[in-house]
């Protein structure tokens, strides 16, 4: 049991050594891209929600 756990962690460590990690600049760029897209989509859906709410309110109150 202990040997299988040890082998698992040794195998995981060996695989992690093979990973091609992004550079610091790439990580910053991708993070900013994700944040920017998230904010952009939030604004888009907020405006869409506002437009539908206003439209439905005008239809109901007529």
pLDDT digits (tens, 9 = 90+) for 28-52: 999 999 999 999 999 999 999 999 9
Domain positions in the chain are 21-62
Model confidence pTM above 0.75: no
Does the structure show a pLDDT above 90 at 13?
Answer: yes
Looking at the chain, the whole-number percentage of residues with pLDDT higher than 90 is 89
User: What's the per-residue H, E or C state across the chain?
Assistant: CHHHHHHHHHHHHHHHHHCCCCCHHHHHHHHHHHHHHHHHHHHHHHHHHHHHHHHHHHHHHC
Q: What count of other Cβ atoms lies within 10 Å of the Cβ of residue 36?
A: 10
Mean pLDDT of the 6-11 span:
95
**Averaged confidence pLDDT in the chain:** 96
CB 42 within 8 A of CB 34: no
């Amino acid at each position: 049991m202990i040997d299988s756990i040890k082998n698992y962690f040794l195998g995981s460590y060996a695989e992690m050594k093979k990973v091609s990690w992004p550079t610091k600049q790439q990580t910053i760029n991708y993070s900013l891209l994700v944040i920017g897209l998230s904010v952009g989509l939030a604004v888009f859906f907020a405006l869409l929600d506002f437009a539908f709410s206003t439209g439905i309110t005008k239809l109901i109150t007529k």
